[in-house]
Chains A and B, each alone.
Chain A
Amino acid sequence: MATKLTTDQMQAYWGRTSRLMWVLLAIWFFFSFVVHFFAPSLNQIRVLGFPLGFYMAAQGSLIVFVAMCFYNARAQNKIDEEFGVSDE
């Protein structure tokens, strides 16, 4: 386990981490706000009895949030291991 990164390595590491952050933040924003903006129209579509707009707020977005947290943990671990800075 390398303990000290050079300045260049640090910059590369943080660049990758930041990019992951921005991508996830954009997805978060979409499923927190954007998709619900269209709820009245989505409600015209029905899946298993659920109006789709209602479903997205009651379950759809939640499932995405859970998946995002697990994905973030995995993706960041990968970056950490690549740079040899994982703490486990």
Chain B
Amino acid sequence: MAYTLGGSSFVQNLGRIYAIYTGAFAAFVVIIGILEWLGVPSKFLGYLYIFLTIGVYAAIGWLSRTAEVTEYYVAGRVVPAFYNGMATGADWMSAASFIGMAGSLYFGGYSGLAFVLGWTGGYVLVSILMAPYLRKFGQFTVPDFFGARYGGNAARSLAVIVLILASFTYVVAQIVGVGIITSRFLGLSFQVSCFVGLIGILACSLLGGMKAVTWTQVAQYIILIIAYLIPAIVMSFKMTGVPIPQLMYGFALEKIEILEKTLNVAQGHSSAFVDATGKYSASAMWNYFALILCLMVGTASLPHILMRYFTTPSVRQARDSVAWSLFFIFLLYFTAPAYAAFAKLEVYQNLIGTPIASLPGWVASWGRPGLALVGACDAANAAQIYPLCRGVVGNGDGILQLNEFRIHTDAIVLATPEIAGLPYVIAGLVAAGGLAAALSTADGLLLAIANALSHDVYYKMIDPTADTKRRLVISRVLLLLVAVVAAYTAGELGADILFLVSWAFSIAASGLFAGLVLGIWWKRCGNAAGVAGVFVGITVCMFFLYTTEFHGLWVKQAFSWLGEINIVKIRNRDVAYIWNINNISVGIFGIPAAFLTQWIVGAFGKPASAEMQEFIDSIRVPAGDVKVLRGHEAH
């Protein structure tokens, strides 16, 4: 048999292997830098970055191919806490985190911090409420837990439905992210780029399942964190003289505040809970907290994250692993606000009030057609040079005003290397990092969906006698199918669907959180209560999601008894905001509905059987065997 990764010698030498890998990647960046210095065109360098990194991921995927069910579904349960932390970091941080978040912070200021908080705090819930117990449970998927805990296929099927709704919404947004990056750096059309990305995604996961995804995600984390930190460090050094962006952007915030006064910006960058006129707004505050709640609870319910903790060798390492995961995620998230602050300071300080003729070079290079990420819209014909200027009327005085400046969310991270005066080699590195972030998340999500279909639906419900070979073939065929459907959907929907990511959190939070938490922490809770909880949670969430988005006017009439409902025109629709809450936080209805239902049915319905309670006791304690329930003997 040819060499494959994953033997005990591989796991023992992980530190050395990934150190060599990191060194090789650094050497690769240096070589590209030399090529650039020799005058090789930047488009060619872009190709080198994208195809070489995808090539490395594909090689890891090939070396991790497997014919074993445990390796395919849970990476053989040999992944040490530290490395599982890195893999979870890559699994977690998507294109939205890597490229989008700094942009949201640039535009939203304080209100954008809801994402920073919401996407980190959820790990505390994972750590204290779930991960160790799910690891002890020791099966393959999150629906496995629902099936075992709440007595069979009804609960399992509902969990599969929630999983698919949440993960599919999320994966489509990831493929859009891959499409945007590849189309921007390779100059291909968006649809074609989505399918190029698809090849990258499948190369990692198709042959080796979770095992291959784990080892590529570690590799992808290393690239994405290097790519994210370097431009911020250089930018901080350039602007403040100290290369620690996370500490130094405080001074940028201070300067921004002074410039806001001279530029008449009412909504201050660091002011909390203010509306567009700069006044305190209670609805801004409630939206902030609603979004944080949905993102945190969603974090603790997303199956592609929870299933990463099935791969550690022990319960103890599962707990350590959550801490490492959050640490590795934290490294990126506490840097994102620095990106936003430095970019804003650069714009306020060096762009606004500058003659159009002497604008810094990055404005023209990121504003040209094909990229269209920046626009200096002073002259009437500005739209010919800057496509982003379409519809903006400048005063034509030859000087850039604040209201004549346009910048796309994605530009904050992508253009920072050039703003900081770094060569193209670093801009390409950032693109490679963004690609790594999008690919790794897409892989985790696709695997979660395909595993739910192949393991929970096919093997557990349709053909429990299927042999290993057949199960793995079915898994791979389903993975391929789901990936193609997702890439097709992404290509059709186009680039403007990143709000889908927030929906995915609300869906997962409403459907799965109550069932997971109460399943572990409330021993007497019976089967019917669990099934009812999931059903009501997801139904309420999907009902409000769908009606507020597509039938806003009807919601305003039919639910006027709930309280204040406003109609907001976004995404070309009349969207209903109940209590002024943005419908991306629709989980605030689903989460309590699920808890309340499960609690009422659980309190008055039939309690869990003695056998079930023994089972729960057995997953609460790290040592010892898990009590085998009737009907759940086979793996």
Contacts and interface: CB of A to CB of B under 8 A. Distances in A.
A49 B253 contact: yes
Contact of A80 (B246, B254, B316, B521): B316
B251, B293, B327, B622 interface centre (most CB from chain A within 10 Å):
B622
B121 A17 contact: no
B103 to A, nearest CB: 15
B622 A80 contact: yes
A73 B254 contact: no
Interface stretch (B125-133, B560-568, B579-587): B125-133
Contacts of B330: 62-63, 65-66
Given A21-B129, A59-B334, A65-B121, A87 B316 contact: yes
Given A1-B623, A33-B289, A33-B292, A57 B113 contact: yes
A47 B270 CA distance: 13
A69 B124 contact: yes
Interface in A6-60: 10, 13-14, 17-18, 20-21, 24-25, 28, 31-33, 36-37, 39-40, 43, 46-51, 53-55, 57-59
Contacts of B327: 66, 69-70
A77 B296 CA distance: 25
Nearest to B272: A39
- Size bin of chain B's contact surface: 35 or more
Contacts of B283: none
A6 to B, nearest CB: 11
Contacts of A36: 117, 272, 288-289, 292
B391 interface: no
B298 interface: no
A59 B521 CA distance: 31
B196 to A, nearest CB: 35
A13 B618 CA distance: 12
Given A50-B270, A70-B327, A72-B128, 8 more contacts: A32-B292, A40-B280, A53-B272, A61-B117, A72-B124, A72-B127, A72-B323, A86-B623
Closest 10 CB pairs of A and B: A49-B250, A39-B272, A69-B323, A50-B250, A57-B113, A87-B622, A54-B270, A85-B623, A73-B319, A49-B254
16 contacts: A10-B617, A13-B620, A20-B128, A28-B121, A31-B121, A36-B292, A37-B285, A40-B272, A49-B253, A58-B113, A58-B334, A62-B116, A62-B117, A76-B132, A80-B623, A85-B624
